[in-house]
Structure 1
């Protein structure tokens, strides 16, 4: 399964989830929607590995995050800080995690700085109540540090979801988030190929699908 197919599955699951959030329906829609973010977190991690220009990748995510959030602020919609901010901070976190400089001889000092910066990002993502918050950042980090081991991805995923199940007030996510583990069925089918390019499709689909769903809600 190529990265393109994975993203399509993620987009469909996201649409179903937001349909439930905006319009309503059976809770099964919300459960199906749980597989969306892990897929996007995984594709982001793969993007970090394969991108030719990390700065442009970060810049693109940040600009779209701001652009998409502006209408919500102007019109007073009660949407959380959008997912692009979470993806941006997740990408920034794995950059910090993998940051290396030969001229910094004191590796302990370097890791102290890394831990401080990553902890600050986790705090900010929760404090600002970003979509998926610290949970989302940690999931992105999991896919990065465990990239070469499906077993480690699975175990870290289970630990993270079990923690949320036992202490839902920490991440402020519902217990249905545990069903996101199903996303690994699709992620583990990834064949390492990019597939068709859809560089800007998701960026554009994200705000457009909200407009579509708001339109459906208003005409019902």
Structure 2
């Protein structure tokens, strides 16, 4: 008997697993690059992971039954990881002997983006005040902090920085994702209101235009520089997987709903710890 309800292509769950594998490859290179034994290809392939996770985030935002809980799960993990990163900046003992520490804060980028997506929805519903507040305030917060709050309370700079890494994330301080990635997410969501194919093409165009042109137009840029140093533009190829999306959620397996929230910080700090041990062994 022929199965019904199945469509050709990739489900959201399958896209997440592809993104996860690519992310782990990227992070293996990120944490163990100092050994000289991990090929750069790991990070080049890893450029595809962020876009796929962003695509899945937007699908999750659209289809979730409880957007507040969806946001809260991402936000709480981002706050915890932000606190760890702040401790690494503040205390030498938290950093690897060569000064390296993890700056993996993609979930903080997502925590800034999600309220802005909700703001777009409220504006579409003509809830103007709420919509503008949700869209503008998360993006404007870092600039307000820099121009107004820091000058008013210079003695509290440390506490304000902690605030910006945790409870009120500032996208300008996020190295993993950050401002441009948020703008890309907004563009994708606006295009997603038309179709997922347009969304994928918009993502590819954004990456090639912003990151590709930056690499090509860099003074003295060579092919080696474009392909082996400024290769962020390679993330555009994740649009190929997005175009294969079949519109279905798919099965993540038992506990899959929370697996990615646990796996992301867990694998970061496990790899960091292992890299620390290996660094000491190599000395």
TM-score, normalised to structure 2's length? 0.66
**Equivalent residues of 1:3, 1:190 under 8 A apart:** yes
Match of 1:188 among 231, 243, 266: 243
Give 5+ residue unaligned stretches, structure 1. Answer: 169-173
Matches within 5 A, 1:138-217: 138-147=183-192, 148-151=195-198, 153-167=200-214, 175-197=230-252, 198-217=256-275
Give 5+ residue unaligned stretches, structure 2. Answer: 1-9, 89-93, 96-100, 144-168, 216-228
TM-score, normalised to structure 1's length? 0.83
Q: Please give the alpha-carbon distance, in whole angstroms, between the structure 2 residues aligned to 1:136 and 1:45.
A: 13
Match of 2:223 in 1: none
Matches within 5 A, 1:34-113: 34-75=47-88, 76-77=94-95, 78-80=101-103, 82-100=105-123
Query: Which piece of structure 1 moves more, 191-200 or 64-73?
Result: 64-73
Structure 2 CA distance for partners of 1:81 and 1:152, relative to 1, 3 Å: closer
Structure 2 CA distance for partners of 1:180 and 1:211, relative to 1, 3 Å: same
1:45-69 residue CA offsets vs partner (Å, 9 max, x unmatched): 0011101111111111111111233
State the superposition RMSD in angstroms.
2.9
1:110-169 residue CA offsets vs partner (Å, 9 max, x unmatched): 88666643641686744223421012212222321111152453145313432223346x
User: Which secondary structure state, in structure 2, belongs to the residue aligned with residue 175 of structure 1?
Assistant: coil
Q: How many residues align?
A: 213
**Equivalent residues of 2:196, 2:243 under 8 A apart:** no
Match of 1:171 in 2: none
Q: Please give the alpha-carbon distance, in whole angstroms, between the structure 1 residues aligned to 2:269 and 2:259.
A: 15
The reply on whether 1:15 has 2:24 as its aligned counterpart is yes
Q: Please give the alpha-carbon distance, in whole angstroms, between the structure 1 residues aligned to 2:86 and 2:258.
A: 23
Q: Please identify the structure whose Cα radius of gyration is greater.
A: 2
Structure 2 CA distance for partners of 1:55 and 1:29, relative to 1, 3 Å: same
**Equivalent residues of 2:73, 2:261 under 8 A apart:** no
Q: Please give the alpha-carbon distance, in whole angstroms, between the structure 2 residues aligned to 1:136 and 1:10.
A: 16
Structure 2 CA distance for partners of 1:208 and 1:70, relative to 1, 3 Å: same
**Equivalent residues of 1:125, 1:134 under 8 A apart:** no
Q: Please give the alpha-carbon distance, in whole angstroms, between the structure 1 residues aligned to 2:58 and 2:235.
A: 17
